[in-house]
Amino acid sequence: MDDPIELRLDLATAEYLRIALYDLGEHQAAGRPIPHMDAEASRRLGALLRNLDIRLGGTVRFA
């Protein structure tokens, strides 16, 4: 079995992630554009992706 990767999220980042995943799924299923996210959501989710990238071996794709 693969080793688990754990990330800890603060409440605000977790909420932004939930909204982004929901919007992505709902809008893609309906064939509609994905709504624009505000700067704070973008900053928090970008930091989350960078942290995940580092945990996965650091391809620096999200740097």
Q: Write down the pLDDT at residue 18.
A: 93
Whether pLDDT at 1 is above 70: no
Handedness of CA 10, 12, 41, 19 (dihedral sign): positive
Distance set, CA 21 to CA 3, 4, 34, 37, 57 (Å): 24, 21, 10, 12, 23
This prediction has a pTM of 0.74
In 1-63, alpha helices (H) = 11-30, 39-55
User: Nearest 5°: CA angle at 62, between 39 and 56?
Assistant: 130
Per-residue pLDDT reduced to its tens digit, 7-43? 899 999 999 999 999 888 888 788 888 888 899 999 9
Whether pLDDT at 62 is above 70: no
